[in-house]
Amino acid sequence: MTRFKFRQLLVVAFACVLAFGAFAVSAKAAEKNKQKQEKQQKARYHSSIQVPNDEREESGEEREEQGKQESEEQGMKESGEDEAADTARYQSLAKITKEQAIKSAKARLAGKLLNASLDNEDGNLVYSVEIRTKSGVADVKVDAGNGKVLFIDRN
């Protein structure tokens, strides 16, 4: 191999290393940006009813990290039971009905109702009302305590 070809090969290899490094840095920056956006989204609203985050979700993450695996059937059964218990607990805390939340959301945003559910959104008890508008689907967060629209997430 001549010196000229060797230098060309060296330059190409160096360029590849630089490109890979730039890709790794941009991927890391993109991940940081995503985490920052998620954090900002979580802090966009606060409802009048605060509930603790579900401890079962945290323990599930810990179990996963420890490498323990549950059977799929058992996990689905527990998940359904947990959801039913959470729904009953949240319903007992809510001061307005689902119908009132839908009415409040539709007063702010015209469109077709797709779904409405009572949820614990990062410790905030809210109704998530999904409405199809001309510009797409919007998720309207309605305070389960006073019926005020807290946030509209337009997808």
The CATH code for residues 46-155 is: 3.10.450.40
| Residues shown for the chain | 155
Kindly state the average pLDDT of the residues 27-37: 72
Listed by start position, the domains of the chain span 1-43, 46-155
CA dihedral 44, 37, 118, 112 (to 10 degrees): 90
Kindly state the average pLDDT of the residues 19-28: 68
pLDDT for the residue 37: 67
Residue spans of alpha helices (H) in 45-121: 55-65, 72-93, 98-108
Kindly state the average pLDDT of the residues 29-41: 68
Q: What distance in Å separates the CA atoms of residue 135 and residue 91, rounded to the nearest whole number?
A: 32
Q: What distance in Å separates the CA atoms of residue 150 and residue 129, rounded to the nearest whole number?
A: 11
Which residues have a Cβ under 8 Å from the Cβ of 138 and sit 6 or more positions away? 109, 111, 130, 131, 132, 152, 153, 154, 155
Give yes or no for residue 45 having a pLDDT over 50: yes
pLDDT in tens, 55-107: 444 444 444 544 444 444 455 556 678 888 888 999 999 999 999 999 999 99
Confidence band for 155, pLDDT divided at 50, 70 and 90:
confident
CB 142 within 8 A of CB 127: yes
Q: What distance in Å separates the CA atoms of residue 56 and residue 153, rounded to the nearest whole number?
A: 27
pLDDT in tens, 126-150: 999 999 999 999 999 999 999 999 9
Q: What distance in Å separates the CA atoms of residue 44 and residue 42, rounded to the nearest whole number?
A: 6
Tokens coding 69? 């695996």
CB 125 within 8 A of CB 46: no
Q: What distance in Å separates the CA atoms of residue 121 and residue 116, rounded to the nearest whole number?
A: 14
pLDDT for the residue 118: 96
What pTM did the predictor assign? 0.60
